[in-house]
Amino acid sequence: MAWLRTHTELLLFSSSTVLLLGGGLAWMLQALTVADVLWIAGTLLGLAFSIAWTLGAIRRRQPSVDVIALLALAGALWVSEFFAGAMITVMLASGQLLEARAAARARRELSLLVERAPRTARRRSDSGVIEIPVDEVVKGDRIVVGTGEVVPVDGRLTSPAILDEAALTGESMPVERPAGDEVRSGVVNAGPPIDLTAIAIAAESTYAGVVRLVEQAQASSAPFVRTADRFASWFVPLTLVVAGLAWVMSSDPVRAVAVLVVATPCPLLLAAPIAIMSGLARAAHIGVVVKGGGALERLAAGRVMLFDKTGTLTQGQPTLSDVVTASDRVDPAELIRLAASLDQISPHVLASSIVTAATRRGLVLDMPEAVQEEHGYGLRGMVGTQEVRVGKAAWIVGATQPAWVRQVRRRADLDGSLTVFVAIDGEPAGAMLFQDPIRSDAPRMVRALRAAGISRVMLVTGDRADIADTVGRIVGVDTVLADCDPADKLAAIRAEAAHAPTIMVGDGVNDAPALAAAGVGVALAARGATASSEAADVVLTVDRLDALADAILISRRSKRIAVQAVVVGMGLSLIAMIAAAFGMLPPGVGAVVQEVIDVLAIGIALRAVLPGKVHTIAMPPKDIAIAHELKVEHDAMLAVVEQIRAVADTLTTQSSDLAAAHTLLHRLETELLPHERADEALLVPLVDRALGGTDVTVALSRTHAEIEHQIGRLRRLLTGLDDDTVLPEDVIELRRLLYGLYAVLRLHNAQEEESAFSLVPAAHLEGSQTGPQRRTLSGAQH
């Protein structure tokens, strides 16, 4: 029975087609009685389903064009036009089958949310730690949460903790919480095992509330209304009036039946779903899965776009942004290499970020030995012949506050960065700062969305206001709402929905309620499916945000073509209705004419299969390969750029060692300049070809020239200058020049990543971050 319920449309279409064709074959063989019996059976089949559909629409108090089909089928039986009745049944069945495939919304399952929710908790008692069902936890219980485990209930920490709160706030950075802080269920323990005192039972805890929010948001979502039903309010009365007038004026009921036959709204039932299905197929082709025709239609109608920050407009993973060394005797690259070598076997949340930073710079890592974890502090071990420690400042530098440590903390506070300190052979060596960088394709994606018809773009995030405002300015959103929990995001969606159709984009469990409540929820799943994918109407399976703008263009084009097919089909049906009313189209011929109209409407609808205008740039394989090699060099140059500021930081008018400046100049002339010349010779033309013009690359070429000019000035300043002849004003000028060059290079690198490397498919660039390849193209420029 379950199979029958889920395949009703297919069975109806198959059986009605067999009856129609069987009757036609019998008619050709002169078995007229058999033909009539088969066609009558087909008509009765259609009549039965039409009655059921019409009664269902009446119960829902929803206007429906099915009443026309019901009258046409009944009329065909009455005036013995059995072939016309069987033909109508096939048309209705095919429409139902297509609509079932194209317009049914995918169910929003909560399976991932439920699976992630802890089912057990470990309670500490006098007799030890015992595992109990999470529903048995009561307020006051002392709960133990191991490394990597989800906090089962809301509680108060009895020991310090490092927590990954991304599931609730969306923030990718782990957070340190002192003893006494309250923590919410659903967060992950990213540090050593912790103890907490339960302050709520499981059903009243935060994570259970997130699940309830999703359920409530789902219940408030409006169902998809068929395109055909929107025409029913005027088309059904018009048809009945024309049929009634034809009968009254001619006194011939056959004319009324003929009007009903040609008025059967198959262009509505067939062409519209085909256009929608074609749009779904086009969207899937570019890596955007749209869950049904209803979602596609709402995506086309969207005017307000709301974004979560972490993992949506940003990378969602901590990335090394700066290295500060304790003295100029410490090489930043060697500090990264030693820390990454040690962290290769560390489970810490930042370990993979440190290793990635090293591999992007082409550093060769050693396998550590004698590794020991100091719970709550960090990791120690031997890398080659050196003893390395990586961890918290208190463990690495103790209670002292030298100038370089104050500098690290000042930068971390300004940028909202995480810090990891490193000691080599028992001596503090430096610190690494990590940020969640903005996706290079995010600004271009926002511009593409505006071009696609989005009138308002908002950033809705649980992050700090200063960080959120910075991201919003760079990306180009209209409004920023910071410090938002899932309930705040849901309230923002509802407030915006009162003014215009909304689209919400997110990638975390904390976004699920807003995704379900928005007119359209869009989830990013290229880096792994999450519960947000279950709550979303649209899922991006590619790691390219501009695909969302393309999906909006596809949805609007598909909807426009569907309307065109409906208008043309129904317009011709109106003409046929007039002809039938004057007796020029008998029911049988009218059914055939209606089929011709259907074929024409379907032909119009199939235009949606053809490619339309998109924002995604298609690059030839040769250009992708060149961009890949240049990205390898681009990443390798990051260490040279950071060395500029490191050298400038050490310069003072009282004591200046110019050897580091001369070494830096050599690297700039032998490594960075050849790379920038290769960019000008290869990357700039590549971008011009991709975008079809030179306007975008003017700024890139200008900064290439400025970089070469500033390095030339540096060369002239350092020529003949040494520690014996240097004057204080020389040091001031040198420091000013280095800081200026550093700022130009940072801005230039951001420009290249946004306007050039963001055009390349992400899969091709990921390889540039995994190996020690370097300078294959710029080396040819020497």
Predicted local distance difference test score (pLDDT) of residue 284: 76
| Mean per-residue pLDDT, 636-661 | 82
Query: Bridge-partner residues for 427, per DSSP?
Result: 424
- Residue 186 pLDDT > 90: no
Predicted local distance difference test score (pLDDT) of residue 209: 64
Task: Write down the mean pLDDT value for the chain.
Answer: 79
Predicted local distance difference test score (pLDDT) of residue 527: 52
**Percentage with pLDDT > 90 across the chain:** 13
- Residue 261 pLDDT > 90: no
| Mean per-residue pLDDT, 655-674 | 87
pLDDT band at 192, cuts 50/70/90? confident
Contact 763, 355 (CB under 8 A): no
- Residue 458 pLDDT > 90: yes
What torsion, rounded to 10 degrees, do the Cα atoms 184, 190, 193, 197 define? -10
Predicted local distance difference test score (pLDDT) of residue 763: 45
Predicted local distance difference test score (pLDDT) of residue 77: 78
Comparing 257-271, 330-344, 470-484, 705-719, which segment has the lowest mean pLDDT?
Answer: 257-271
**Percentage with pLDDT > 70 across the chain:** 84
| Mean per-residue pLDDT, 544-569 | 86
| Mean per-residue pLDDT, 293-319 | 85
Predicted local distance difference test score (pLDDT) of residue 98: 61
Active site residues: 308
Contact 151, 170 (CB under 8 A): no
**Between 409 and 315, residue with greater pLDDT:** 409
What torsion, rounded to 10 degrees, do the Cα atoms 242, 244, 248, 250 define? 50
Predicted local distance difference test score (pLDDT) of residue 467: 85
Distance of alpha carbon 384 from alpha carbon 342, whole angstroms: 10
pLDDT band at 263, cuts 50/70/90? confident
Predicted local distance difference test score (pLDDT) of residue 773: 36
Comparing 268-282, 332-346, 456-470, which segment has the lowest mean pLDDT?
Answer: 268-282
**Between 169 and 181, residue with greater pLDDT:** 181
Contact 639, 320 (CB under 8 A): no
- Residue 332 pLDDT > 90: no
User: What six digits make up the tokens of 125?
Assistant: 């008692």
Contact 120, 307 (CB under 8 A): no
Q: Quickly count: other Cβ atoms within 10 Å of residue 405's Cβ.
A: 20
Count of residues making up the chain:
782
Distance of alpha carbon 748 from alpha carbon 752, whole angstroms: 6
| Mean per-residue pLDDT, 712-721 | 89
Q: How far, CA to CA in Å, does 285 sit from each of 244, 280, 289, 760?
A: 48, 9, 9, 17
379 phi/psi in degrees, rounded to 5: -130, 145
203 class by beta-carbon count within 10 Å (0-12 exposed, 13-18 middle, 19+ buried): exposed
| Mean per-residue pLDDT, 714-735 | 85
Distance of alpha carbon 183 from alpha carbon 198, whole angstroms: 10
For the chain, the first-to-last Cα distance in angstroms comes to: 75
Strands (E), 213-368: 288-290, 304-307, 319-325
pLDDT band at 768, cuts 50/70/90? very low
Predicted local distance difference test score (pLDDT) of residue 4: 46
| Mean per-residue pLDDT, 103-130 | 64
Predicted local distance difference test score (pLDDT) of residue 103: 41
- Residue 404 pLDDT > 60: yes
**Between 420 and 616, residue with greater pLDDT:** 420
- Residue 235 pLDDT > 50: yes
pLDDT band at 779, cuts 50/70/90? very low
Comparing 226-235, 348-357, 439-448, 562-571, which segment has the lowest mean pLDDT?
Answer: 226-235
Predicted local distance difference test score (pLDDT) of residue 737: 94
**Between 266 and 733, residue with greater pLDDT:** 733
| Mean per-residue pLDDT, 56-69 | 68
| Mean per-residue pLDDT, 55-78 | 71
- Residue 286 pLDDT > 80: no
